[in-house]
């Protein structure tokens, strides 16, 4: 098993009867996912994706990645939400959060279009000066404002630098197979396109072209990643025995804690390379469960960094939280603490030891501290930081999320709430068709803009 659960730090918080009642519901929810007869079941494409993906497109992704690697110094990936987080999470998890600063034979990868900040876009444009650039613009709907505006700016830059024909060799579009503004533009301009399948929502799309092209450009083995996801599907989707299925256990514990009034789950990891995985996980669970006045609020920390900030709250603040701790058994690199003849810092008792052992001690110490502070801790033991393990983890969390969502009684595959801000923003920036809403908002605005 690539992901195992330890129940050592949760058992004391849960009565067996209480847990078994939730397990019964989780098992039903698992069947709903297997049979595909629940709410939002037209978005279950992720379930069989690891074995049932478009092999022709997969081969084309590899060819495109090689072409991009050869022709640019900087690869700009433009997208937001599910069209952004998974690829960045993979690159940071498997390679490093410092990927762009590392010695490597792959281009630097930058992510853009995930905010509307002029300063961060200006910074990126200045990084691109004098460099060869390729772009992957990703938007399932093809109409999301943040990536669309950013793409317009980069498209102009590339056309000025390489000419319209040269630019089209450097622009890759990942979008709906038939519909949307981006698809129309890509077809008109002759960009190579990749598809976000109809039956896979943005936050479940990292193992489609959405994630695969940027991940492959970063030199990560996407075959191994898909194999990891396929193994997870085999071990987790088809194993209906909760006792030996850590994915079902995870769904069951988090729902049990939710029912106890613990409405915030903190995903904690001891590796900075997991930070963007946490962001990907927050979107997956936040958008899937937070609706109908329900849902666990997904938060995250990186320890031991955040033990020196949020650690205080977790230890002694409001007791409405539980933690899910990621323990990466082999983080990849060995650093040995040196011997110092003077021992002025008094640390010679650690000399010759691996730094990762100190990290392990920090984790175990914190597990005891936080559970003594009445915060239950689910521990998920993850094998390593390989592409294979990343693929497995993605599938683990996606399946657990679908099962959790059905257990909670929501449709885990829609995100109707995301539209509310979008409509207001369209109205305020003067998008045609939103005039009525604009008038309504302006009437309510009062002196808000006078500062």
Among 144, 246, 255, 377, binds ligand PA5 (CB under 6 A): 144
Instruction: Please compute Rg for the chain using Cα positions.
Output: 23
Q: What is the β-pairing status of strands 377-384 and 3-6?
A: antiparallel
Nearer to ligand PA5, 287 or 323 (CB): 287
Nearer to ligand PA5, 144 or 327 (CB): 144
Nearer to ligand PA5, 23 or 267 (CB): 267
Q: What does the longest C-alpha to C-alpha distance in the chain come to?
A: 76
> Which residues inside 410-429 make contact with ligand PA5, applying CB under 6 A?
415
Stretch that binds ligand PA5, among 9-17, 79-87, 96-104, 244-252 (CB under 6 A): 79-87
CB of 244 to ligand PA5, least distance (A): 31
Stretch that binds ligand PA5, among 38-46, 140-148, 185-193, 350-358 (CB under 6 A): 140-148
CB of 210 to ligand PA5, least distance (A): 8
Active site residues: 287, 308, 422
- Whose CA is closest to 173, among 196, 144, 150? 196
Q: How far is CA 155 from CA 67, 115, 136, 160, 209, in A?
A: 19, 18, 11, 9, 21
Among 81, 107, 311, 376, binds ligand PA5 (CB under 6 A): 81
CB of 288 to ligand PA5, least distance (A): 9
Quickly list DSSP for 35-61: HT-STTGGG-HHHHTTTSS-HHHHHHH
Residue 267, token pair as written in the block: 């995903």
| Residue 141 contacts ligand PA5 per CB under 6 A | yes
SS3 content of the chain, % helix, strand, coil (to 5): 55, 15, 30
Residue 345, token pair as written in the block: 């810092």
Nearer to ligand PA5, 83 or 377 (CB): 83
| Residue 203 contacts ligand PA5 per CB under 6 A | yes
Tell me, what DSSP letter sits at residue 96? -
| Residue 298 contacts ligand PA5 per CB under 6 A | no
| Residue 139 contacts ligand PA5 per CB under 6 A | yes
| Residue 192 dihedral angles phi and psi, to the nearest 5° | -70, 135
Stretch that binds ligand PA5, among 38-46, 139-147, 321-329, 358-366 (CB under 6 A): 139-147
Nearest-CB residue for ligand PA5: 202
Residue with token string 């330890």:
6
Nearer to ligand PA5, 45 or 147 (CB): 147
Burial of residue 388 (CB within 10 Å: 0-12, 13-18, 19+) is buried
Specify the 3-state DSSP secondary structure of 445: helix
Please give the Cα distance from 359 to 361 (Å, whole number): 5
Residues lying near ligand PA5 in the complex (CB under 6 A) are found at 80-83, 139-141, 144, 147, 201-203, 287, 415
């Amino acid at each position: 098993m690539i992901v195992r659960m330890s129940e050592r730090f949760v058992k004391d918080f849960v009565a067996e009867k209480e847990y078994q009642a939730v397990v019964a519901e989780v098992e039903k929810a698992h069947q709903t996912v297997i049979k595909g007869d629940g709410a939002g079941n037209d978005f279950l494409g992720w379930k069989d994706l690891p074995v049932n993906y478009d092999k022709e497109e997969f081969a084309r992704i590899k060819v495109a990645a090689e072409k991009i690697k050869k022709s640019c110094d900087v690869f700009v990936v433009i997208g937001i939400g599910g069209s952004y987080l998974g690829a960045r999470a993979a690159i940071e998890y498997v390679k490093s959060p410092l990927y762009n600063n590392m010695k490597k034979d792959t281009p630097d990868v930058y992510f853009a279009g995930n905010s509307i900040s002029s300063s961060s876009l200006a910074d990126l444009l200045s990084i691109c000066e004098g460099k060869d650039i390729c772009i992957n613009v990703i938007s399932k709907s093809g109409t999301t404002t943040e990536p669309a505006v950013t793409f317009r700016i980069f498209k102009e830059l590339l056309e000025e630098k390489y000419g319209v024909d040269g630019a089209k060799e450097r622009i890759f579009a990942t979008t709906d197979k038939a519909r949307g503004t981006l698809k129309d533009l890509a077809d008109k301009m002759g960009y190579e396109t990749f598809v976000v399948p109809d039956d896979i929502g943005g936050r479940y799309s990292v193992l489609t072209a959405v994630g695969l092209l940027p991940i492959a450009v970063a030199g990560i083995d996407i075959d191994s990643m898909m194999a990891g996801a396929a193994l997870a599907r085999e071990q987790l989707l088809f194993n209906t025995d909760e006792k030996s299925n850590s994915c079902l256990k995870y769904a069951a514990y988090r729902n049990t804690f939710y029912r106890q009034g613990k409405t915030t789950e903190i995903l904690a990891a001891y590796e900075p390379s997991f930070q963007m995985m946490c962001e990907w996980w927050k979107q997956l669970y936040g958008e899937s469960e937070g609706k109908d006045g329900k849902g666990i609020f997904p938060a995250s920390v990186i320890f031991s960094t955040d033990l020196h900030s949020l650690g205080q709250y977790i230890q002694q603040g409001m007791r409405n939280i539980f933690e899910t701790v990621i323990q990466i058994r082999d983080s990849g690199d060995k650093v040995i603490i040196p011997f110092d003849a003077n021992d002025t810092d008094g640390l010679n008792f650690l000399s010759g030891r691996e730094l990762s052992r100190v990290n392990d001690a920090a984790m175990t110490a914190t597990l005891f501290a936080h559970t003594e502070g009445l915060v239950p801790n689910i521990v998920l033991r993850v094998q390593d930081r390989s592409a294979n393990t990343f693929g497995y983890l993605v599938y683990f969390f996606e399946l657990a999320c679908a099962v959790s969502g059905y257990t909670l009684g929501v449709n885990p595959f829609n995100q109707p709430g995301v539209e509310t801000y979008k409509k207001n923003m369209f109205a305020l920036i003067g998008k045609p068709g939103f005039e009525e809403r604009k008038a309504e908002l302006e009437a309510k605005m009062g002196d808000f803009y006078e500062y």
